[in-house]
Structure 1
Amino acid sequence: MENQSAKKVWFVTGASKGFGLEFIKQVLANGDAIAATSRSIDGLKKAAGTDSENFLPLEVELTDETSVGNAIAETIAKFGRIDYVVNNAGYGLAGSLEELSDAEARHNFDVNVFGSLNVIRQVMPHLRRQESGHIFNISSIAGVTGGFPGFGIYCATKFAVVGFTEALQVEAKPFGIKVSLVLPGYFRTNFLESDSLITPAKQMEEYKEVRNVLSIHQNQIKGNQQGDPVKGVAEILKVAGIENAPLYLFLGSDALQMAQNKISFLHNETENWKHVSTATDF
């Protein structure tokens, strides 16, 4: 085993850009170690720009559980343990439910949902043996509110992350493992760039609102997002390992506002229709 000087060990997916790349910078600056994954190890090394002994770049295909398992094993072999896991990898898909093909929708789920599940299955045995650890699953405010025309499948993947993370939190607690959901709003990363936001191969001219919403995202919101990824990652690092870590961690004032709006909406819906809800009991 090498390099026992690092304080803590992080395992972060999707680390060649955005939040993931910022994790590399801040984790190393804190003196911790980080194993970072990407589909291209050359691109990852170039983006990270470091040869620190505390940095382990890994080429991983998250939809291949064997590839994920090998990456976890390499991390343990080099650093001896894993303390924090960040399921960060994912991409956006912008198209109406009707025009997106089955293959396009399923691939979004394969990466955004099943990729994280592959990591969880492979890392949990190690965390259980340690009786410690903290898993951060990166969802989105789009995992709480789905009212974005053209983003239904993407929202569905992020809703799925919310659902399985809530279950994981109670499943992992007896083993001393903490679990947190991170739900960012709009952050000034490359999420709205063409390599991170995919559009349908076959678009339908009938969906003018969907095209308009996409145009707003690409031409008005992109580059003007109010969230600072440097500050976002810094706040996650503050939460890491604290005794009473939150299950829900909203990042950004916009995310907080949208979450509060959803809470108000649900409250009003349940109050307005409780006479129907309660009419079905024996």
Structure 2
Amino acid sequence: MNNVWFITGSSRGLGRSLTKAVLANGGRVAATARQPKQLADLVAQYGPQILPLALDVTNATQITEAVVAAVGHFGRLDVVVNNAGFGITGAAEAYTEEQVRSQLETNLYAPIAVTRAVLPYLRKQRSGHILQISSIGGRVGNAGVSVYQAAKFGLGGFTEALAKEVAPLGIKVTSVEPGGFRTDWAGTSMTFAPTIADYTAVNQRADYFASGDFVAVGDPAKAAQVLLDLVGHPAPPVHLVLGSEAAAMLSKADSERKAEFEHWLPVSLSTDHAEAENFLDTPMGRLYLNNTPPGNA
């Protein structure tokens, strides 16, 4: 394996596990981090296989510089991993304005910005795979993590639309949606909103994370191996759920959504204009449901 990877947040958590796995399998990595000196041990071990780069993913200039440096050094990019991010817990009304902005800037705007920066290179190559490290929290909403999940739901929607956009160009895109993994997401990288006493369940979740008692079921080394295998797959999924926790949560949520949708379907259908034709027979219906561009029979 000789792919060139560009990985954000490569010094900690899943990003570090993935960086180590790629290097151990012979790949090359443009490894970005706020403090690239934290990658010194990997540089000592793997030498020219790794290019450590300073990158604050909320800094647009640094994003451009890091991508240009990676392409200039390795000559191409094959896999781009938007991994950098952090969690926050609290009631929606309790977050400070700075906390809300920080979540959206780091967990949503940043991966969009990195994706937009690398797309011209991947488009020119007519190849590449973008992995957006999202969360099961981008598919299932839970009390206490509303702003974090707002960013992840947004990232999932961006990814799904982008995958359709760039597929004709030979570029693959996958939203990776893990449950809890044994990283520091719920530990040292977790932040908290001010407490409002009325939100009992939310506060209990925050206290649990802060206590250090939470032990996730997911193994980041196994997740890294899955992602290594994924980039060699000829037809990777647009959404990839990781972990039994995430699978159970999504299965339950999908069942509840389906039941709610079917219960309210008569109301949904009642709002069409009296003169409207069947949606499936319209140009937009062909575009969305049959993948046939408007104007084509």
CA drift at 1:263: 1.0
1:87 and 2:79 aligned: no
Between the aligned partners of 1:171 and 1:262, the Cα distance in structure 2 is 28
Residue 282 of structure 2 corresponds to which residue in structure 1? none
CA contact (8 A) 1:25 1:48 kept: no
CA drift at 1:178: 0.4
CA drift at 1:256: 1.0
Could you report, residue by residue, the CA deviation over 1:203-250 in whole angstroms, capped at 9, with x for unpaired residues?
Answer: 32232221101122343653x211110001101111113211111110
Between the aligned partners of 2:17 and 2:49, the Cα distance in structure 1 is 15
Between the aligned partners of 2:139 and 2:42, the Cα distance in structure 1 is 31
Pairwise CA RMSD: 1.5
1:12 and 2:7 aligned: yes
Match of 2:190 among 194, 197, 200: 197
Between the aligned partners of 1:47 and 1:31, the Cα distance in structure 2 is 13
Residue 56 of structure 2 corresponds to which residue in structure 1? 61
Residue 211 of structure 1 corresponds to which residue in structure 2? 203
Between the aligned partners of 2:163 and 2:209, the Cα distance in structure 1 is 33
Between the aligned partners of 2:264 and 2:40, the Cα distance in structure 1 is 55
Alignment of 1:18-167 (within 5 A): 18-45=13-40, 50-147=45-142, 149-167=143-161
Residue 174 of structure 1 corresponds to which residue in structure 2? 168
Q: How many residues align?
A: 273
CA contact (8 A) 1:133 1:241 kept: no
Question: Could you list the runs of 5+ residues in structure 2 that have no partner in the other structure?
Answer: 274-297
Residue 236 of structure 1 corresponds to which residue in structure 2? 227
CA drift at 1:172: 1.0
Q: Letter of the aligned partner of 2:57 in structure 1?
A: L
Could you report, residue by residue, the CA deviation over 1:120-141 in whole angstroms, capped at 9, with x for unpaired residues?
Answer: 1110000001000000001100
Structure 2 SS opposite 1:52: helix
Structure 1 SS opposite 2:149: helix
Could you report, residue by residue, the CA deviation over 1:162-183 in whole angstroms, capped at 9, with x for unpaired residues?
Answer: 0100111011111100000100
Residue 270 of structure 2 corresponds to which residue in structure 1? 279
Give the TM-score, by structure 2 length. Answer: 0.88
Percentage identity across aligned positions? 38
Could you report, residue by residue, the CA deviation over 1:43-86 in whole angstroms, capped at 9, with x for unpaired residues?
Answer: 23357763521011111111111101111111111111000000
Residue 3 of structure 1 corresponds to which residue in structure 2? none
Question: Could you list the runs of 5+ residues in structure 1 that have no partner in the other structure?
Answer: 1-5
Between the aligned partners of 1:277 and 1:48, the Cα distance in structure 2 is 57
Between the aligned partners of 1:261 and 1:50, the Cα distance in structure 2 is 44
Residue 267 of structure 1 corresponds to which residue in structure 2? 258
Between the aligned partners of 1:49 and 1:216, the Cα distance in structure 2 is 38
